[in-house]
């Protein structure tokens, strides 16, 4: 029987990109995001192209009760959820101390508190099944404190990585796997207006490499591996002035 993957934030960017990649591999998909009309278009595309089963539901991950309701509804409809990818997030963020607390607060709440809700809901399902694969999408900006618009964003993604590791520690002697993914710069709708970033890849390439890394169920993966694996190690030890240049 085909396995099922649940992806949050699946209406655009790497969420939609990963849905396409996993559909191609024959997985059934539980896709959710705020924009249902986009999900419905994606559902039609994937079902007709790959003959898989796709269920789409509206989910705003900042409505925490809804996270639990939607995840449980997916489980009820599919029977088993084999992998849950905590991907929903925002790329907003402003320089600290410039009067933009509301934007930074919303960034941290969406990227971290909402991720916590998704993890709670996911692990509850996996504990009941005694199986499953939790995938957390962090960011290379989680490696060190970042300047400018990345400060609050990077901090939220570092928190996500720490949360994932804590869950992995908790579940280390169980059949439940936990993977943390650190994507480098992937050009998506989320950041299409931004200046060209170092070592960036397009959405299709990024999504393909993400799906490939996730399939291996590693403890952690840097995507693309080159140059981000060595850079990730370097970022931890380089002087902050040099790390700043990656922001």
User: Which pLDDT value is given to residue 110?
Assistant: 97
Four-residue CA torsion sign, 139, 202, 29, 88: positive
Average pLDDT of the residues in 142-164 = 96
How many other CB atoms are there within 10 angstroms of residue 216's CB atom? 8
Q: Is pLDDT above 90 for 234?
A: yes
Does the pTM surpass 0.85? The reply is: yes
User: Which pLDDT value is given to residue 197?
Assistant: 76
With cut-offs at 50, 70 and 90, classify the pLDDT of residue 1: confident
Q: Express as a percent the part of the chain with pLDDT over 90.
A: 91
Q: Supply the mean pLDDT for the chain.
A: 95
Alpha-carbon Rg of the chain, whole angstroms? 17
The pLDDT tens digits for 27-79 are 999 999 999 999 999 999 999 999 999 999 999 999 999 999 999 999 999 99
| Residues classed as catalytic | 153
The conformational region for residue 26 under phi > 0 = left, psi -120 to 50 = alpha, else beta, is left
- Classify domain 4-246 at the CATH superfamily level: NAD(P)-binding Rossmann-like Domain (3.40.50.720)
Q: Quick one: tokens of 3?
A: 């396995």
Tell me the C-alpha distance between 61 and 181, whole Å.
19
Tell me the C-alpha distance between 145 and 153, whole Å.
10
User: Which pLDDT value is given to residue 184?
Assistant: 94
User: Which pLDDT value is given to residue 245?
Assistant: 84
Q: Is pLDDT above 90 for 246?
A: no
With cut-offs at 50, 70 and 90, classify the pLDDT of residue 191: low
User: Which pLDDT value is given to residue 196?
Assistant: 77
DSSP character string of the chain: ---EEEEESTTSHHHHHHHHHHHHTT-EEEEEES-HHHHHHHHHHHHHHH---EEEEE--TTSHHHHHHHHHHHHHHHS---EEEE---------TTSS-HHHHHHHHIIIIIHHHHHHHHHHHHHHHHT-EEEEEE--GGGSS---GGGHHHHHHHHHHHHHHHHHHHHTTTSSEEEEEEEE--EE-GGGTTSPPPTT-EEHHHHHHHHHHHHHT--SEEEESHHHHHHHHHHHHHS-HHHHGGG-
């Amino acid at each position: 029987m085909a396995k099922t993957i649940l992806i949050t934030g699946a209406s655009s960017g790497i969420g939609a990109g990963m849905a396409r990649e996993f559909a191609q591999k024959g997985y059934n998909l539980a896709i959710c995001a705020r924009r249902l009309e986009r999900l419905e278009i994606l559902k039609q595309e994937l079902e007709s192209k790959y003959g898989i089963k796709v269920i789409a539901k509206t989910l705003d991950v900042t409505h925490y009760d809804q996270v639990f309701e939607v995840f449980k509804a997916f489980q009820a409809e599919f029977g088993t959820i084999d992998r849950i990818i905590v991907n929903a997030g925002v790329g907003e963020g402003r320089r600290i101390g410039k009067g933009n607390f509301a934007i930074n607060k919303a960034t941290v709440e969406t990227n971290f508190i909402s991720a916590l809700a998704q993890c709670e809901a996911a692990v509850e399902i996996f504990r009941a099944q005694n199986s499953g694969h939790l995938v957390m999408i962090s960011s290379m900006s989680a490696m060190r404190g970042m300047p400018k618009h990345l400060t609050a964003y990077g901090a939220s993604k570092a928190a996500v990585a720490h949360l994932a590791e804590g869950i992995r520690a908790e579940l280390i002697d169980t059949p439940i796997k936990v993977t943390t993914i650190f994507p480098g710069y992937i050009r998506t709708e989320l950041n299409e207006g931004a200046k060209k970033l170092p070592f960036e890849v397009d959405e299709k390439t990024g999504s393909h490499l993400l799906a490939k890394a996730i399939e291996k169920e590693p403890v952690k993966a840097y995507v693309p591996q080159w140059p981000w694996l060595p850079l990730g190690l370097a970022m931890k030890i380089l002087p902050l002035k040099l790390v700043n240049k990656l922001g």
